[in-house]
Amino acid sequence: MKILIVYYSYEGDCAFIADKIKELRPDADVLRLATEDDKPRGFFAKYVWGGKQVLSGKKPALKSYNIDINEYEFVVIGTPVWAGSYTPAIASFIADTKIEGKTIALFCCHAGGKGKTLEKLKSALTGNTFTDAVDFLEPKKHTAGVQEKLNWWVKSWQS
C-alpha cells in the first residue's frame, strides 16, 4: 500500500507528528503544504490573519508541489485547528486535488479546543473511506503519550 502524508503546519506541531509517522513508515511519501503568505507573525496578528481566512472560507494559493495523488491508495492528512476548523491550506489542497476512492487517516493538532475539525474535514472528503482519526494537544509541548498513540495508530493501518 502506497502512503502519502500530506499536512500543513504553521508552528511545527503537525510537522512534529508527520516526522514521527515517517519514522514509523519510512516507505511513505511526505508533502508539507505551504501557502504563498506563510511567515512568522506575532501572537495576536497570527490569530487575526488565520482566523479571518477560516471564517471567510479563504483558499490561499499554495506553493507549488509535485505529487500525483493517483499514485497513492492511503492518504494521511494532518492539520492544525484554526478557529474550530481545518486550516485554509488544507481547504486549498482539497479544492485543487481530486481525492476520491482513497483510505484516509486524519489527524489534527490543537490547543485544547479541537471542536468539530475532524468531522468537518471528513465531510469535505466524501467518496473516501476513513480509518480512525486522532488528535494531539500541542504535541511538541505535551510529549507524554504521543509516541505510544502514534505507534498504535500507525500499526492499525496494517500492511
Ligand X SMILES: Cc1cc2nc3c(=O)[nH]c(=O)nc-3n(C[C@H](O)[C@H](O)[C@H](O)COP(=O)(O)O)c2cc1C
Within 8 A by CB and 6+ apart from 100, the residues are 127, 128
Between residues 39 and 155, which has the closer beta carbon with respect to ligand X?
39
Q: How far is the CB of 39 from ligand X (least distance, A)?
A: 13
Question: 35, 14, 17, 33: which is closest to 25 by C-alpha?
Answer: 17
User: By the criterion CB under 6 A, which residues form the site for ligand X?
Assistant: 9-14, 46-47, 50-51, 80-84, 109-114, 138
Q: How far apart are CA 1 and CA 6, in angstroms?
A: 16
In this chain, which residue has its C-beta nearest to ligand X? 50
Q: How far is the CB of 137 from ligand X (least distance, A)?
A: 8
Between residues 95 and 111, which has the closer beta carbon with respect to ligand X?
111
Q: How far is the CB of 146 from ligand X (least distance, A)?
A: 12
Between residues 47 and 101, which has the closer beta carbon with respect to ligand X?
47
Question: 99, 105, 157: which is closest to 124 by C-alpha?
Answer: 99
* Under 8 Å between Cβ of 101 and 125: no
